[in-house]
Structures are given as structure tokens and as C-alpha cells.
Copies of this chain bind each other. A is one copy, B any other.
Amino acid sequence: MSNFTIIPLEGGLANVEGFYCDAVNVGMRPNSDQGDVAFIRSKDPCDIAAVFTTNRFQAAPIQHFQRYGEDFQTDFVLINAKNANAMTGEKGIEDIDTIMSTLSHKLTVTNPVMSSTGVIGYRLPIDKITSAFDNFDFNAKNSHKAARAIMTTDSFEKELAYRIKLEDGSHFHLAAICKGAGMINPAMATMLCFIITDANIPKADMDALLHEGTEHSFNRISVDGDTSTNDTVMLLANKESGIYHKEAFAKALKDMMFDLAMMILKDGEGANKLVAFEVKGAKSDKEAKIAATALSNSLLVKTALFGEDPNWGRIASTIGASGVTCNDKTLTIHYDDLLIYSDTFRELDKEREDQAYKIMKQEQFTVTCDLGIGEGSYTAYGCDLSYEYVKINAEYRT
């Protein structure tokens, strides 16, 4: 196994060679110093890989992107908040062309793409958006401003950057900005993620690794089972460094996407806890995924987490309701290393209940459910659901 080092860096997108970014406020967020339109561009055209929402009503920017065909290069991504440009029909796609046509008078761009988040069902304010082109600094590296501009209900910016150093001293970079979904309001708070790299990565690896990374990160976090019209994960590679190492890149991308997913979870509206739901011993990986996802999505479970109520009944009930093969005689449930349910240990005694409380008071912990049936396993990630209404439910048992 070859050696490489992944070094976290401050400064987000600014670390990656040949990329520029900026954001301005064009009046879609009135009376705010927070931007509402941002761009990410590369001085040379980039290969691009993308994963989009599975929602049948894909927003106009996604349809616009797909019209470029399978393999195209781009050097410009325009991003706006406050308006999703979704369910706007052919006009919504034409609006993007109009905007990009205006852009081309200011800057030479190749196959520019767009990404939007906000309210569904309204045409983009074209004049406002194109006014950004007079105010952008196209040679800036204002990663933080861009990360802030794409936020909706997010309470903090999400940006990460890594330098990946290889054994021979050469290195390349990977960086990302990302915005999350409010826990209650996912389709209004689309998940957008833009990852850029100067690694000399082949297009085939970009596609494969981005899909694999998505499956291990954003697809494993609970957004209440809803999928927005706009969800987008993009990877842009301008190859500027000339350096590539597949194993190192794969590890760095996977880590980065996982960390971004955890940042989204932590920023779930009112969320206080991050919980890994590990299901093992399932009949198949598929059944493990069904059960784990059901746990991370369950309001029952989320309210119990908030109430720090070691009520494993909600865990068991949710597994049973998910329809997977299970048996109360072979099932075991652990909170971290604490056995909380098994066939011979069904009723929680005071001592274990106190231990469970301590575990649940942590900001992060793991709920492991071994179904004791087969070899299938899957881990999904969720958070608690707070607010006064939840309090009512969390206190139900007392």
C-alpha cells in the first residue's frame, strides 16, 4: 500500500489551482450583506461529473445541464439562492440560456452551467441575476463568500479543503462548498454540493468515485425521506496540478463527502445530536439499508433522541414497521457498547437506563441493531428533532 497524506486546509475553494469564485447580493435577499448569487469558474475547461436528484420533476438547471450531453467540459458554474427555477417548464431553461448569453458578453465561457435553490414555481429574476456580472470579481478566490451565498436555512457555511500529498512530495487539492437541508423542510432547502480539484483525474474515475462517494455520504443521511427537485452534487476537475493518485484521491473524496454530509446533519434545524444507525445481521444489505434508513427517518426515533429517552421500543417498532425480516428473539440493540435489548434482557433496569442516559447525552453516538438473521449490514446517519412540539412527545412517557 502506497503512502499519502491528507492535509486539511483553511480557505475552502481558494486552495485549488486555477479556480476562482465570488458572490454578490443582487437583491434577492433584501437588506442583507449575504450574497445570493455566486460563481465557481476555472481558467481552463474542466471535466465534470454530477449526481442529481431522483425527483421526477428535475429543476430547469438540471435539465439545462443534461442538454450538453454525456461528456462535456465547462469552466463556469453559476449558483443562486432564493429561487429554485423548478417547475418552470421550457421557459425556465430558456431563462438560463438568456442569463448565460449575457454572461458571454462579459467573459468568455465554455458550456456554462447553473445550479439553483429556493422556492419552487417562480421564474428567475433575470435582470437581478445578470446584474451580478457587473459586480463579480471574476479573478477573486472568495470561497467563504460563495459558501455563504448558497445557504438557505443553513446556520453556518460549509466548506472544506484538503491537500493530498503523495510519497514523492507532489500534491494536488480537493475542495468543496456545500449547503444543507433544514430538517423539516428539505425540498425548500435543497442539498447542493460543488467539489473542485486540480488533480489530473480521468473522467471515468470522476464519475465512478462521485457516485460511490454520494452513496456513502449524502445518500445515508436523513432528510426526512423527501428529495428536492434541485439536489445536486458536482465534481469539477481542471487537471492543473498534473498530479493524480487514484487511491489517494478516492480516499480524500470519500472523506470529504462524508464530512460534508455530517456537517449538513449537524446543521439540521434545531438538531443537537448526530447518531449513526448501524443495522447488521440482516437478511441482505438491501434489507439492512431499509431498516437503517427507516430509523434515521423516523420522527419517533428522532423525538426519543431529543428527549434523551432510552426507549428502545421506538427503535424496535420502527424496524418492525419497515417490513424487513426480523424476529424479537434474535434481535439485539446496543447504544454504543451498552446492550439495551435482547431476548433474555427485555426490560430496562434502572442501572442500564442510567448508563443509556449518559450515552444519549453525548453529541454523537451509535445505535447498533443486530437482527441476528443473516450477513447484511448498512449504516445510516440521523439527528434528533427538537423544538417545543417535540418536547411534548419526548415527555410523553413520563
- In the bound complex, residues from chain B placing their C-beta under 8 Å from that of A319 are 56-57
In the complex, which of the residues B86, B343, B388, B390 contacts A317, with contact meaning CB atoms closer than 8 Å? Answer: B86
Known interface pairs A182-B393, A314-B187. Does A88 touch B346 (Cβ–Cβ under 8 Å)? yes
Q: Are A300 and B186 in contact (CB under 8 A)?
A: yes
Q: Which of A37-88 contact B (CB under 8 A)?
A: 54-58, 84, 86-88
Contact between chains at A393 and B185 (CB < 8 Å): yes
Q: Do most interface residues of chain A lie in helix, strand or loop, or is the interface mixed?
A: loop
Whether A269 touches B316, Cβ cut-off 8 Å, given contacts A123-B347, A321-B187, A328-B89, is no
For A342-386 the 0/1 string (1 means CB < 8 A from B) is 010011100000000000000000000000000000000000001
Residues of B within 8 A of A324 (CB): 56
Contact B229–A318 (Cβ < 8 Å)? no
In the complex, which of the residues B56, B89, B121, B314 contacts A313, with contact meaning CB atoms closer than 8 Å?
Answer: B121
Interface assignment of A320: CB less than 8 Å from any CB of chain B: yes
Which chain B positions have C-beta within 8 A of A156? Answer: none
Q: Are A317 and B187 in contact (CB under 8 A)?
A: yes
User: Shortest distance in angstroms between A282's beta carbon and chain B's nearest beta carbon?
Assistant: 12
The verdict on A227 contacting chain B, using a C-beta distance below 8 Å, is yes
The yes or no answer to A22 lying at the interface (CB within 8 A) is: no
Q: What is the CA–CA distance of A388 and B303 in the complex, to the nearest angstrom? A: 15
Asked if A303 contacts B185 (CB within 8 A), the reply is yes
Number of copies: 2
Q: Are B393 and A317 in contact (CB under 8 A)?
A: no
In the complex, what's the smallest C-beta–C-beta distance from A68 to chain B, in angstroms? Answer: 21
Q: Give chain B residues whose Cβ lies under 8 Å from the Cβ of A240.
A: none
Q: Which parts of A160-191 form the interface with B (CB within 8 Å)?
A: 182, 184-188
Please give me the 7 A-B residue pairs with the lowest Cβ-Cβ distance, nearest first.
Answer: A120-B313, A387-B389, A57-B320, A56-B320, A55-B320, A227-B321, A121-B313
Instruction: Give A residues with C-beta under 8 Å from B.
Output: 54-58, 84, 86-89, 91, 119-123, 153, 182, 184-188, 224-229, 269-270, 298-300, 303, 311-314, 316-321, 323-326, 328-329, 341, 343, 346-348, 386-390, 392-393, 396-397
**Extra 19 A-B pairs, beta carbons < 8 Å, given A57-B317, A227-B321:** A55-B317, A56-B323, A57-B328, A87-B316, A87-B341, A119-B311, A119-B397, A121-B346, A182-B393, A184-B299, A184-B392, A185-B393, A187-B314, A187-B317, A226-B298, A226-B300, A226-B317, A228-B317, A387-B387
